[in-house]
Structure formats: structure tokens, C-alpha cells
């Protein structure tokens, strides 16, 4: 257990004994936190003692210039990259650095990349069906049949992402924005506790951008969202708190107005 978790649990040893192994414990606040995380690639420090704390149910926006460490940060959280130093915890008890990518996804952290990845030849419904959180073993998959609860779940997710009317349409005919929403729906089928969303509005029309903002805002609360985005107006429309990364660390955090008026942000990111 890292120093942050130790400080929390030393206050009451009895509390720690109530934690169920493998379950996410957020009774003390953060659902996801990184402490003093550093990552180097051939001498270049992609992350430099990065510390980040995300609360349960929070929607946090991450901004920063190219090379600030946003992608590496997500790679570390999802297990794609192991840091040189530091701690990364999911709640107070799950050490993500001891887990591989599939285990982290199974635990409840999912990631949406900038380019949508859906099965074009399958329908919207079938894409969501494939994404169901079920036993993916060969035998189970061969004899899998949807039950009523699972069908209802797919219906609920289609309604959430605004694709109910296109349930039986091939994903390949969807617009770029609709494919993005379908992929978000596929992540929701996994019942995640934390969603990492990378540049969700790239290539979207103005109407699609507005709908995406509404969708992301509707998802906060039941789960935490970390949204990496370059479009400042979009960030302003969804963010209560913004974190600015620079040279692999946190430059500042605050509301959009606070970070936009910070002289350091103006200098390194906003071009003032």
C-alpha cells in the first residue's frame, strides 16, 4: 500500500479489515490516484513525478500541449505502460501496477481511443451484444444466448447513446459521431467505474459535438470520467474541474476560467 493509502488507513485500522479484496473502496474519496509517477523513454521524461486524484463520480477534463504526457498518463492507468517510479491505485486497495491490461479492464477501468473501433459489418445491437460483460470463454461464447435482462441492458444503453432508432442498422453506415457514441455504448456494456475518453469530438459536426457533451454529462455520477480534449469550448461546456499537464506533470488545476487566466497556462498552452 502506498503512502496515501497508509495515511488514510492508519487513522482507523478497523476500517481496513472491512475492505473486500478486489473491490473498489472509495469511502475515503478518490477512486483513482497516481502519486509521483515518472516514465522515461530513451532519456525523455514523458511523466515527471505526476500526481493526480480523481473522485468517484467526477468528470475531469485534461488539457495540455502536445508532449505534455496525456497519452502516457492513460497508458499507465490502463496497464499498457509500467512507470519507472510512483504508485497508481484504483480506490484505496487495488494496486494497478500489479495488474495487466485485461485485469484492469475487468476491474472496471476502460478506455476510449480517439479513433472509434466498432465492427462495421455488424448492427448497432450486435456491437453492443458483443461488448456485454460476460464469460468470454470458447464454450460459453459458442452456446451464448441473450436473456431478457441482457436485452434490456442493451436497450437502455442504446437509448443512453441515442442510437435506439438505428438498432438494426450496420455500424458501417453510421456517421463519425454516431460511431463514437456506439463505442462509448460498448464501453458502458462493460459496466465501468472509470472511463478514460481520448479526444471524443475530433472530426464531429457542431450538432454531434453538442450531443457528445450532453452524453458525457449524463454519464457522470454513476461513474468517473477522465476526458482528454484540445477543444477549449467543448471543455468549458462539460468541465467543472480542469487539470493542465505540462512536461509530464500537473501545471495547475481549477475551473476553466481559472486555468485560462493562469499566466503559466497562457504561456505554455494557450499562446498568450
Residue 114: what pLDDT?
Answer: 80
Residue 135: pLDDT band (50, 70, 90) is low
Residue 2: what pLDDT?
Answer: 52
Share above pLDDT 90 across residues of the chain, in percent, rounded to a whole number: 73
d(CA 98, CA 68): 25
Residue 146: what pLDDT?
Answer: 83
Residue 121: what pLDDT?
Answer: 96
> Mean of the per-residue pLDDT values for the chain?
87
**Can you list the domains of the chain with their CATH numbers?**
108-239 (3.40.50.300)
Share above pLDDT 70 across residues of the chain, in percent, rounded to a whole number: 84
Across 7-11, 152-156, 260-264, least confident range: 7-11
Q: 96 versus 13: which is more confidently predicted? A: 96
Instruction: Work out the end-to-end distance of the chain between its first and last CA atoms, rounded to an integer number of angstroms.
Output: 42
Residue 72: what pLDDT?
Answer: 97
| Span 220-262, pLDDT tens digits | 998 999 999 999 999 999 999 999 999 999 999 999 999 989 9
Residue 28: pLDDT band (50, 70, 90) is low
Characterize 150-163 residue by residue with b for buried, 16 or more Cβ atoms within 10 angstroms of its Cβ, and e for exposed. beebbeebbebbbb
Amino acid at each position: 500500500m502506498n503512502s496515501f493509502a497508509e495515511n488514510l488507513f492508519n487513522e482507523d485500522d478497523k476500517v481496513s479489515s472491512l475492505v473486500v479484496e478486489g473491490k473498489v473502496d472509495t469511502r475515503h474519496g478518490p477512486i483513482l490516484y497516481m502519486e509521483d509517477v515518472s516514465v522515461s523513454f530513451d532519456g525523455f521524461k514523458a511523466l515527471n513525478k505526476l500526481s493526480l486524484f480523481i473522485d468517484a463520480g467526477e468528470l475531469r477534463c485534461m488539457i495540455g500541449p502536445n508532449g505534455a504526457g496525456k497519452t502516457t498518463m492513460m497508458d499507465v492507468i490502463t496497464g499498457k505502460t509500467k512507470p519507472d517510479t510512483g504508485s497508481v491505485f484504483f480506490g484505496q486497495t487495488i494496486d494497478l501496477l500489479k495488474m495487466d491490461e485485461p485485469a484492469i479492464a475487468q476491474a472496471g477501468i476502460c478506455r476510449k481511443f480517439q479513433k472509434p473501433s466498432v465492427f462495421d459489418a455488424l448492427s448497432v445491437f450486435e456491437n453492443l451484444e458483443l461488448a456485454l460483460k460476460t464469460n468470454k470463454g470458447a464454450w460459453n461464447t459458442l452456446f451464448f444466448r441473450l436473456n431478457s435482462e441482457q436485452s434490456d441492458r442493451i436497450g437502455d444503453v442504446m437509448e443512453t447513446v441515442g442510437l435506439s432508432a438505428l438498432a438494426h442498422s450496420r455500424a458501417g453506415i453510421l456517421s463519425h459521431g454516431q460511431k463514437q457514441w456506439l463505442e462509448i455504448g460498448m464501453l458502458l456494456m462493460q459496466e465501468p467505474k472509470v472511463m478514460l475518453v481520448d479526444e471524443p469530438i475530433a472530426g464531429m459536426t457542431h450538432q454531434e459535438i453538442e450531443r457528445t457533451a450532453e452524453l458525457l454529462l449524463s454519464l457522470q455520477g454513476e461513474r468517473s470520467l477522465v476526458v482528454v480534449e484540445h477543444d477549449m469550448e467543448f471543455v468549458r461546456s462539460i468541465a467543472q474541474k480542469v487539470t493542465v499537464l505540462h512536461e509530464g506533470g500537473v501545471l495547475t488545476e481549477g475551473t476553466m476560467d481559472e486555468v485560462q487566466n493562469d499566466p503559466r497556462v497562457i504561456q505554455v498552452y494557450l499562446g498568450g
